[in-house]
Amino acid sequence: MTIHREGRLLLLVLTIIFVGLNVGLPYLAASSAVVNTVLISSIVIFLLILQFFRSPKIETKPDENLVYAPADGKVVVIEEVHEDEFIKDQRLQVSIFMSPINVHVNRMPVAGIVQFFKYHAGKYLVAWHPKSSTENERTTMVIRMKNGLDILVRQIAGALARRIKWYVKEGDELAQGKEFGFIKFGSRVDVFLPLDATVKVKIGDKTTAGKSVLAELP
């Protein structure tokens, strides 16, 4: 288990602040009750943020017929929709909600070349809101597989997630399970699959990025 690069600076700053605060309080003649409360609160806050930025080592077994989960979390949507931004056709949408206690590393569900990538500024509706997929801050990435099939993945910021990070650009060729992004403090990731894909999860299922199988391709 390692700490993700997105959290290292924040954790360093918090360490300096909390150490300074807890070392300095006794010199300010604070009561023992205040000193103990601040100490316990500092530890709890630090541990909560530390666990949020954890980055476990994941080994993905490559399989061109499988679509892996791009995120840790809970499956909240499985439905047929019309994808309007790039594919412009009917697709099966599978959405994973990432709570603040989930690992927030995003991984490639399939191997392929990034055919399209775009960042959209937007609102910060709660991640499960029906309009969050089209109105919230988000990114859209289309992965073209070797067989020519396009898989669209969308990172969506939620009410707490105020920063989406991505590490890809159009033309990049990435392996299945490779890290492509990170979303801070609660969010959602949508995957748009062909209609003839066989979905292997159901609403409420928990997923692990790069390990849980979302669907099997025809």
Catalytic residue among 95, 133, 187, 212: 187
Known active-site residue 187: yes
128, 157 contact by CB (below 8 A) = no
User: Given the structure tokens 């530890």, which residue do they identify?
Assistant: 43
Residue 190 main-chain phi, psi, to 5 deg: -105, 140
Active site residues: 187
